[in-house]
């Protein structure tokens, strides 16, 4: 109840332009097909126009260039963004500190915030530091000397190895492994691989989110570093000594090989990869299932294996299906030219 907002306040929150009754009270958020009388909803695409008109929502957030005929709406630049801001407002709730579950096993000399939740079957090593309002879910294993900042959540069955340092408001989804050994070997003359000790750690900035079953390896020396605001999807591999800049997006099943540095606001599509020891500039976008084989300037748009400029790749990929025909054409042309050469030459010889 205490979360009620007038449509006017809400429009200000999302920097939108209000059309309708400014004093209308909004108490929740829902999608067009299920929003109720006190809810605000959102319309991002004209194809949902009919749903919008028929929706039970009290008001609607409407993206640019979409006409609507409803009594109350707020026009915004990005209806997804406005929705997210408003939803997060309505969903926010005070931290419910559950304390430490009886079945959890806690190491020595740990320092925990006053308000924390540590779930069942959790194992926490020695000298671990947890900030305020940290939640460690069931089945998590945290090694010694790990630090986790205020407001962070570690979901179930995650493993965080010794010495890793996580910032504030970090979310690590189930099954992730943070800080396991980097993949580093030196091969002797018999072909036997001698392990190079992995002595560094992992550093994760504020507001980072890492998807289920993803892996971030510890550095050989120094740190593997995921900077603040970066969001990583499921089943992503981040190799040792990688640096991922602020607010980057690594979509599912991406792989970044060791010692590569990504700039800020880099986007890598699903199943894309980058080789090791390269540098990718700020704001670069890489299409899914592409492979970056070399350094990239800021703002590049890349696709392909190896990745080239995106539009160029798209043209080549389109031409790819014509390759067999092209091959035939060229064979035919060669034949024609050869036969004409004969014709050209015969008069010469005779001449």
| Residues annotated as part of the active site | 240
* One of 55, 201, 253, 261 touching a second copy (CB under 8 A): 253
Which residue number, 100 or 289, has a Cβ lying nearer to a second copy? 289
Q: How far is the CB of 329 from a second copy (least distance, A)?
A: 5
- Residue 265 Cα distances to 237, 260, 316, 341, angstroms: 18, 15, 27, 58
Task: Name which of residues 98 to 157 contact a second copy (CB under 8 A).
Answer: 101, 103, 105, 119-121, 123, 137-139, 141, 143, 155-157
Which residue number, 9 or 34, has a Cβ lying nearer to a second copy? 34
Residue 296: helix, strand or coil by DSSP?
Answer: strand
Q: Which stretch binds a second copy (CB under 8 A): 51-59, 64-72, 108-116, 253-261?
A: 253-261
Q: E-strand spans in 79-164?
A: 99-100, 105-106, 111-112, 116-118, 123-124, 129-130, 134-136, 141-142, 147-148, 153-154, 159-160
Q: How far is the CB of 199 from a second copy (least distance, A)?
A: 8
Question: If residue 250 lies in a helix (H) or strand (E), which one and from where to where?
Answer: strand 249-250
Q: Is 270 in the site for a second copy (CB under 8 A)?
A: yes
Task: Name which of residues 1 to 20 contact a second copy (CB under 8 A).
Answer: none
* One of 191, 347, 349, 350 touching a second copy (CB under 8 A): 191
* One of 75, 173, 203, 227 touching a second copy (CB under 8 A): 173
- Residue 96 Cα distances to 66, 116, 117, 170, angstroms: 41, 8, 8, 17
Residue 111: CB atoms within 10 A of its CB come to: 10
Q: Which stretch binds a second copy (CB under 8 A): 2-10, 19-27, 49-57, 257-265?
A: 257-265
* One of 37, 192, 347, 350 touching a second copy (CB under 8 A): 192
Phi then psi for 113, rounded to 5 degrees?
A: -60, 165
* One of 6, 72, 147, 234 touching a second copy (CB under 8 A): 234
Which residues share a beta bridge with 117?
Answer: 99, 135
Contact 250, 237 (CB under 8 A): no
Q: How far apart are the first and last CA of the chain?
A: 104
Give the β-pairing of 273-274 and 255-256.
Answer: parallel
Which residue number, 109 or 316, has a Cβ lying nearer to a second copy? 316
List the x/- string, 284-313, binding to a second copy by CB under 8 A: ----xx-x------------xxx-x---xx
In angstroms, the CA 245 to CA 225 distance is: 8
Q: Is 235 in the site for a second copy (CB under 8 A)?
A: yes
In angstroms, the CA 30 to CA 93 distance is: 17
Q: Which stretch binds a second copy (CB under 8 A): 19-27, 54-62, 65-73, 243-251?
A: 243-251
List the x/- string, 57-86, binding to a second copy by CB under 8 A: ---------------------x-xxxxxx-
* One of 88, 295, 339, 346 touching a second copy (CB under 8 A): 88
Q: How far is the CB of 295 from a second copy (least distance, A)?
A: 15
* One of 13, 115, 209, 279 touching a second copy (CB under 8 A): 209
Residue 274: helix, strand or coil by DSSP?
Answer: strand
Burial class (CB in 10 A: 0-12, 13-18, 19+), 183: middle
Q: Closest Cα partner for 42 from 25, 14, 62, 69?
A: 62
* One of 22, 36, 98, 197 touching a second copy (CB under 8 A): 197
């Amino acid at each position: 109840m205490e979360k009620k907002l007038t449509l006017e306040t809400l429009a200000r929150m999302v920097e939108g332009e209000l059309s309708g009754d400014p004093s209308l009270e909004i108490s929740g958020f829902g999608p067009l097909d299920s929003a109720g009388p006190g809810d605000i909803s959102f319309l991002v695409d004209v194809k949902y126009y009919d749903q919008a008109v028929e929706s039970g929502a009290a008001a609607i957030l409407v993206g640019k260039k979409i006409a609507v005929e409803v009594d109350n709406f707020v026009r915004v630049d990005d209806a997804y963004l406005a929705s997210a801001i408003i939803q997060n407002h309505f969903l926010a709730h005070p931290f419910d500190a559950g304390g430490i579950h009886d079945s959890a096993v806690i190491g020595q000399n740990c320092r925990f915030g006053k308000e924390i939740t540590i779930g069942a079957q959790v194992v926490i090593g020695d000298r671990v530091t947890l900030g305020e309002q940290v939640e460690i879910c069931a089945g998590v294993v945290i090694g010694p000397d790990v630090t986790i900042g205020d407001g962070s959540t570690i979901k179930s069955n995650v493993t965080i190895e010794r010495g890793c340092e996580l910032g504030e408001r970090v979310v690590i989804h189930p099954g992730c492994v943070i800080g396991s050994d980097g993949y580093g070997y030196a091969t002797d003359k018999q072909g036997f691989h001698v392990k190079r000790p992995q002595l560094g750690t992992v550093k994760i900035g504020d507001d980072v989110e890492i998807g289920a079953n993803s892996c971030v390896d510890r550095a050989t020396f120094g740190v593997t570093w995921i900077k603040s605001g970066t969001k990583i999807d499921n089943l992503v591999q981040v190799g040792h000594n990688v640096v991922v800049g602020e607010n980057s997006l690594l979509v599912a099943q991406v792989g970044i090989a060791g010692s590569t540095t990504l700039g800020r606001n880099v986007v890598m599509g699903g199943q894309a990869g980058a080789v090791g020891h390269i540098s990718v500039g700020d704001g670069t976008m890489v299409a899914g299932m592409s492979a970056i084989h070399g350094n990239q300037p800021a703002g590049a748009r890349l696709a392909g294996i190896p990745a080239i400029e995106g539009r160029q790749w798209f043209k080549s990929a389109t031409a790819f299906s014509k390759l067999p025909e092209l091959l035939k054409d060229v064979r035919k042309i060669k034949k024609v030219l050869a036969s004409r050469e004969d014709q050209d030459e015969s008069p010469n010889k005779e001449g």
